[in-house]
Structure 1
């Protein structure tokens, strides 16, 4: 007890603080998202996400090289096709935009880990994450028909060279369907990072600008999780583990650190956190207005995710964070 016990003794110098620091953040903990579009020589900044761009394949290769040179070992690819349709053809076609970007990036940077987001919302003309009834104006996705398309998409992505498949549609049975499809196609060594606990969050708005994937009607609450639920997240991860997931994701991260902590405690699998677009946009807006110290806020935010249990953090701050960590 005080005065003999004084915790401040271990905070007196920067070196001493580093010596007793409980958690550490490294560039290799980060994954950098990239949005890929058709064309060449194209780079357009996303208005709601300063510093984030829609990139043509050649520009995406340049972005991936910059990420790799900063010590960040992985990117995750999101595709915006030239045309969208009800069958999400651009998602599973061998010449889909993510497949083309994957092949180009792996050719240029074979050691970089390329994750492929495996979802259909960017590719459907209605903006939902699967097959719907033509008469549906609510957004209720037909689960089982969607699984077949997700399996085809995962195989096309693996065939293009994706190192890791990341299904994010929150369909029941999606991990099993994808694992089966990959195994039958000979991709038994391709791991699955499941968006196991993905919530119907208001923090996704800027992403939908970047991916051009806003639902044309209804919303995604019939398949993404209710933000009020936490026990349900443990049920979801248990199901995905049983179906063959190799890694698990909690999305969003910052408003769901309690979920992240509970998921980490419930599994021995690696756990990822997605520091989503709305979280990024708020920090950027405040920093641009001079209201916060961007570097300190970003690093504190990422550390909160690491402290809560994240082994990996998908973040639009990845390049900046890597620079600051290397400074």
Structure 2
């Protein structure tokens, strides 16, 4: 208890209120009902529950849009935190939402709109293909992804997944999708697996529960790897689909993958602004100080499994150097 109290004081000192305040934005993707060795980095219901309890007791959690507005006006409270999720997985509704509501917390969910209602993201296709693949050699050299030996252990398959993803992630989107489909065919991915993504009804239920909804493109391309026209269509198309579904303005955006200068550039921040968004978030670490560009806000998630260390890492993240300049252009 004393360690937690000391950590809270450290967080308060490094993230004070008012004009010297900093905004910490947390990023999640999934909250699994149970641990999955193939998704070892994802939160589980149990870990997410204690993390949200810790935040409710030691931070001031605000809706992202409100937090960004208060950051700009110098009225942010001490230990200010906003919670965000990317992609639009069904477990955000089924597992994360009840925990958030139990602790009285708000989160913003950035949705890749093209995968609503039964879609599969390429990474999920590959993961489930490897999960169900027979033991033995998997030759993906013709796809420029390598040669793998799959054993009857989750760790073997998780390692193969990580290596494949490193080669697959930055492919041009159509080639990436074709490669994921080829892997599914070669491994015999069973037909009829349910989509891991949210339905439109689940998304509407999230909004009715008071959660924030933002756009995350249509098909989650790396914006720097597509043409400017494709990037504009992805950015604007996601907003149009979500606004039509929700019947309200969508003003928040998250860059896919989100590394400044690598996954998106100043060209894309300009597109996001021109599309009518007022806030955009990256995956650069750090906490946003007053004066930070609202179109390149950093995000971070502590990975520690003890409460005191979790709070200490939250506090230390506020010391991460933060560059408010826009990412370089093409």
Q: Same fold (TM over 0.5)?
A: no
Whose RCO is larger (CA < 8 A, sep 6+)?
Answer: 2
* Category of TM-score, reference length = shorter chain: 0.3 to 0.5
